[in-house]
Amino acid sequence: MPKWKEAVIRRITQRSPNVRSFWLELPDREELNYRPGQFLTLDLPISDRRRERWRSYSIADAPDGTNQAELCIVRLPDGRGTTYLFEGAEVGSTVLTKEPGGVFTLPERPLDFSVVMICTGTGVAPFRAMLQERLAREKNDFHLIFGCRTAEDILYREEFEAMAEQYPNFRYTVCLSREDPPADGALEAHRGYVHQVYREQYADVNDDIRFYLCGWSQMVDEAKANLLEMGYDEQQIILELYG
């Protein structure tokens, strides 16, 4: 089987001022199978050198029996890959991709630990897929701590609020670094960074927690260092680095 397959962009939606969701369909199969937390690697037409063309994107939704997957992508100023995706790609465009890959996944067995998910921006993508799959069937606690700059940058807000309403074992906390949280009171929101939240709320070290961290190295490295300093074991910290 050839390693690279042609995928078709079936839908594009603006999620926030600089984030879009792209739905990729793999026409060579009826169903796209993957584990929530895995990613797709794209070979984008942005360079003559193979390795300079590859960009990975976490799959943002759980498998739903179709041959499509949603990618949630932030446009980077001067980013070669994202400029192509935001300016050169449209519904109907094809891109090359490989089979889903990656090991940033929850164990398949029923979970016997609490999961604290820490992310900023599109780092939320793998967590959305995991929560869509697991919340209905797990008894353990999940806490999503999501950081971004302003309220308009909050990704999937209504969905996570609905999950928090429906599932008593799910908590959703938003941190805004550049403005005060909305005054509507619906959201558990703070002014500041994700680090303040887990530092305060998980100060009592507990062996039954796993911290899943996802996003760019600045946030992920700082969170890992903080958790180790707080007394958590390296084994309790699982991470996915975007760059």
Ligand X SMILES: Cc1cc2nc3c(=O)[nH]c(=O)nc-3n(C[C@H](O)[C@H](O)[C@H](O)COP(=O)(O)OP(=O)(O)OC[C@H]3O[C@@H](n4cnc5c(N)ncnc54)[C@H](O)[C@@H]3O)c2cc1C
Nearer residue to ligand X within complex by CB, 55 or 195: 55
Give me 69's structure tokens. Answer: 């997957």
Alpha helices in 65-216 (DSSP H): 80-83, 125-134, 157-166, 194-201
Identify which of 177, 167, 26, 205 has the alpha carbon closest to the alpha carbon of residue 99. 26
* Distance between CA atoms of residues 17 and 19, nearest Å: 6
Q: Which residue has the tokens 């680090």?
A: 195
Name which position in 79, 113, 132, 149 contacts ligand X (CB under 6 A).
79
Per CB under 6 A, which region of 73-81, 128-136, 194-202, 227-235 contacts ligand X? 73-81
Under rule CB under 6 A, residue 76 binds ligand X: yes
Give least dist CB 20 to ligand X, A. Answer: 9
Nearer residue to ligand X within complex by CB, 167 or 216: 216
SS3 116: strand
Per CB under 6 A, which region of 5-13, 23-31, 111-119, 235-243 contacts ligand X? 235-243
Under rule CB under 6 A, residue 72 binds ligand X: yes
Nearer residue to ligand X within complex by CB, 5 or 149: 149
* Distance between CA atoms of residues 210 and 197, nearest Å: 15
Name which position in 34, 127, 202, 242 contacts ligand X (CB under 6 A).
242
Concatenated DSSP letters for 22-54? Answer: EEEE-TT-S-----TT-EEEEE-SS-SSGGGGE
Contact 213, 185 (CB under 8 A): no
Under rule CB under 6 A, residue 81 binds ligand X: yes
Residues 86-125 that bind ligand X (CB under 6 A): 102, 122, 125
Letters for 30-49 (x = contact with ligand X by CB under 6 A, - = none) are ---------x----------
